[in-house]
Structure 1
Amino acid sequence: MYQLTLGQRAQPTSPCGTSTDLRGGPIPAQPAHPTRTASSPARVGRRRCRPPPTDGYEGRLVGSGLSGCRGGGGGRGGDGSDCIDALGRLLTRILRHMASELNLEMRTDGYVRVRDLLKLNLQTFAKIPLKSHTVDEIKEAVRRDNKQRFGLLEEDGELLIRANQGHTVTTVTSESLLKPILSADEVSVCVHGTYRKNLDSILHQGLKRMARLHVHFSSGLPTDGGVISGMRQSVNILIYLDVSKALQDGMKLYISDNKVILTEGFDGIVPVKSPISRRHLSPSSIREAKP
């Protein structure tokens, strides 16, 4: 059992609906879409507050190198950013959650062949078939992702891509995907962000990995300049893990390429010891929170 330190921060009001995505937490409500025929590519992506514009990219991206983004869907300003963003969201879903059901060959370190991805009969919310995208657009989606969710690898002339963390597919293994943390000195802070509505359950049952392979911790706070991924900006409860104690008790901790700290816990659970110390933090003092 671990004594964790909790902090609270203010939660901004969401302007959208209260649905839940694969990663948990609120996402905007999805607008209605026309019925898809059996021959149409499946559409996969994140819901939006409003439907995308219907004006196409045709004729606007000539010479841009983003050939798939000329094929349809809406854009913000006609520069292809919406198209590439939609592609990145689809890649996240496929590489974290869908490889098995799509019969996509995935290695234990999470890598798949880009050419295999581009053969899939799927469509993004930008209304562009994945097959019409190019390798350059895949690279651009990786480059633009501000949370560095993806890794690219060229091996024997073959371009491979993976999600750096967040998997539910059981093909990947922690040892192949991640770097082990062997000492508490390797991380300055290990903090899990969640919401008040989840607190009672966490105190009674511990932190659960749920459908994912790991419980996720951030190596810093969202307001820290060096922190990229591992925590939503909207969390209002902060839970700090005593890394030294966890390692002493035999818990295996890992860190991903985008600096998310991950653990399988014990049987999928990081236990929480009560009583725990609570600190009520305003948004302005959140930087001063210490484990």
Structure 2
Amino acid sequence: MDERRVVRVSKYLAKHLRHQPERIGITLDAHGWVEVDVLLEAAAAHGFPISRAELERAVADNDKRRYVMEGGRIRASQGHSVRVDLDLPVTEPPPVLFHGTVARNVDSIMAEGLRPMKRHHVHLSPDPETATRVGARRGAPVVLVVDAAAMHASGHLFRCSANGVWLVDHVPPAFLRVAESRFGPQGPRSQ
């Protein structure tokens, strides 16, 4: 299977396992799972046939480990806009977590905090490199540092998804700061 096909299958999975399962006639269970055979039949019936080997490769090769397959079922690791309970245990986070964004969002984030927007949780990265890659999807990245230890101590609940993304309901502005980069807090400046 060529790389373009892997990407197409992954995007198809994201759309239907995270956002619009009803579009192809599948129903996710309360925890976001669907039987692999049901997904494959629905995809074929809706004009996007996927072989089991293609599905397994798309899951295994996804650099962000967005999907989990176990016991004949599959689900997205996080990022749902449809109501699911991933049934992840509350876990003590590392002292610091990170969030990637772009400069145009920083002022509102620093005023209102990080909110889940159309998703169920705010997604936080375990390291600044991952947050930089996330922020770079929408332009020049800005990395925010989250004082996860202080949030946890004040009662905020953290969960960690199967692919290492940390999930929290909201990050108040008091727990945020802009990371210093080698160019300073706002990125490179023209000379």
Could you state the TM-score of these two structures normalised by the residue count of structure 2?
Answer: 0.82
**Aligned residues: percent identity?**
26
> Deviation of residue 119 (structure 1)?
2.7
CA separation in 2, counterparts of 1:110 and 1:252? 20
Letter of the structure 2 residue corresponding to residue 168 of structure 1? S
CA contact 2:68–2:75 (8 Å) conserved in 1: yes
Question: In structure 2, what is the equivalent of residue 272 of structure 1?
Answer: 173
Count of residues paired in the alignment:
180
2:156 is the counterpart of 1:251: yes
Question: Given that residues 36 and 73 in structure 2 are in contact (C-alpha distance below 8 angstroms), is that contact kept between their aligned partners in structure 1?
Answer: yes
Describe the superposition over 1:51-95 as per-residue Cα deviations: whole angstroms up to 9, x where unpaired. xxxxxxxxxxxxxxxxxxxxxxxxxxxx53222221111111111
SS of the residue corresponding to residue 139 of structure 1 reads helix
Cα deviation for residue 120 of structure 1 reads 2.7
Structure 1 position 197 matched with structure 2 position 104: yes
How many Å separate the matches in 2 of 1:277 and 1:232? 17
The residue correspondences of 1:113-152 to structure 2 (distance < 5 A) are 113-120=35-42, 129-130=47-48, 132-152=49-69
Q: Is contact 1:114–1:161 with CA below 8 Å preserved after alignment?
A: yes
List gaps (5 residues or longer) in structure 2.
Answer: 184-191
Map Cα deviations across residues 27-61 of structure 1 (whole Å, 9 max, x no partner).
xxxxxxxxxxxxxxxxxxxxxxxxxxxxxxxxxxx
Structure 2 counterpart SS, 1:201: helix
Equivalent residue, structure 2, for 1:104:
26
- 1:134 counterpart letter in structure 2: S
Could you say which residue in structure 2 is the equivalent of 1:163? Answer: 76
1:236 to 131, 141, 148: 141
Identify the residue that residue 180 of structure 1 maps to in structure 2. 90
**Residue deviations 1:177-227 (CA, integer Å, cap 9, x gap):** x2321x34xx253111111100111122211110000001001122xxxx5
Q: Which has the larger radius of gyration?
A: 1
**Larger helix share, 1 or 2:** 2
The two structures have a TM-score, normalised by structure 1, of 0.55
Give the distance between the partners of 1:82 and 1:278, measured in 2 at CA.
36
DSSP 3-state at the match of 2:128? coil
The secondary structure found in structure 2 opposite 1:191 is strand
Relative contact order higher in (CA < 8 Å, ≥ 6 apart): 1
Task: Give the corresponding residue for 2:188.
Answer: none
The alpha-carbon distance between structure 1 residues 139 and 230, as it changes in their structure 2 partners (threshold 3 A), is farther
Asked if the contact 2:33/2:74 (under 8 Å) is kept, the reply is: yes
CA distance in 2, matches of 1:272, 1:233: 18
CA distances 1:245-291 after superposition (whole Å, capped 9, x unpaired): 211222111101110001112xxxx21039x75554127xxxxxxxx
SS of aligned partner of 2:42? coil
Q: CA–CA distance in 2 between the matches of 1:277 and 1:138?
A: 40
Paired position in structure 2 for 1:286: none
Q: Classify the secondary structure of the residue corresponding to 1:246.
A: helix
